[in-house]
Amino acid sequence: MKDLLIIRLILILSLTSGVVRAQDDLLNSLDKDIAEDVHYVGYTFKSTHIINGQSVENMKKNQLDFRINHRFGELNSGLFNLYGLDNALINFSFDYGITDRLMIGVRRGTYEKTYDGSLKYLLFRQCTGKRNFPVTVSYYTDFSANTLLYSAPLQRRLAYVHQLLIARKFNDKLSIQLSPSFVHRNSVQANDVNDVYALGFGGRYKLRRRVALTWEYFYCSHTAKSDTYYNPVALGVDIETGGHVFQLFITNSRPMVEKGMIAETTGDITHNGLYLGFNISRVFALGKHKEKEKE
């Protein structure tokens, strides 16, 4: 009788352990099925700029972005000036990806014959899957020098910009960005201020596969009490053509360096202070790059 009980006990323990092992194997299998890789959301914007201002996008490692930017004269300047096309400001820029997170840039523009250098660092990326983060966050800083020929020493002609770029891609069509910004200019006119704080708001809405509507607005701390400067605003269209991104837009801001665009916009949109502009971006891949992104 005792032998029979022992045999039954052994059978029960064997069946129980088998069931436990089967449950563990099933749970492990389910965990593997549920677990996903981290999918980074890519192409929040299709360029390093929304229009005038910076976007959260960086050049990836070993990629070079060459940009040609134009801002024409006032649209209401008449046929004699071909509605502003005879009067253009030009800016050339080179942005290079040191790593996937760090981008450096140099520019030269006809506005105040400005030279500037910049750095953009990707702090956080919007992602889904095993790890979730709701937004992409980048830090941007720019250092510029006015090289017009006048008596002020070079130190007085310098300006500095700091921006925190926060963007979210809501779906395949809509992306929104906020851009808290700070501008310091070493030298200003007597009725102006050295420090300007601003909050930028911009976005992109994809109309077709290669066409998107873009917009941008900066509210600046010094414009409320100024009769000279206004909050910059822009509305445009992005057109992708192979390796190029072509941006065509209307704006009230002609400067293409951040300190000028944010702190020195003079176009009054209520009195025809609007300008036609365009940007052309061409990206060159100078090395191999692999990364998993969700477009």
Please give the order of strands across the beta sheet that includes 38-41: 127-129, 38-41, 293-294
Superfamily (CATH H level) for 41-294: monomeric porin ompg (2.40.160.40)
Cβ pair 102, 82 in contact under 8 A: no
pLDDT one-digit tens code per residue, 209-221: 899 999 999 999 9
Domain boundaries, the chain: 1-35, 41-294
The Cα 120–Cα 165 span in angstroms is 10
**pLDDT-wise least confident of 106-115, 186-195, 201-210:** 186-195
Q: b/e string for 224-244 if b means 16 or more Cβ within 10 A?
A: eeeeebbbbbbebebebeeee
**For 249-268, what is each residue's pLDDT tens digit?**
999 999 999 999 999 999 99
Tokens 């837009």 — which residue? 249
φ and ψ of 83, to 5 deg: 55, 40
Q: What is the pTM of this model?
A: 0.82
Lowest mean pLDDT among 24-28, 44-48, 227-231: 24-28
Residue 146 CA: distances (Å) to CA of 95, 185, 257 = 20, 11, 11
Residue 31 pLDDT > 50, yes or no?
A: no
Report the range of poorest mean pLDDT among 131-135, 149-153, 221-225, 258-262. Answer: 149-153
Q: Which helix (H) or strand (E) holds 63?
A: strand 63-74
**Res 115 pLDDT > 80:** yes
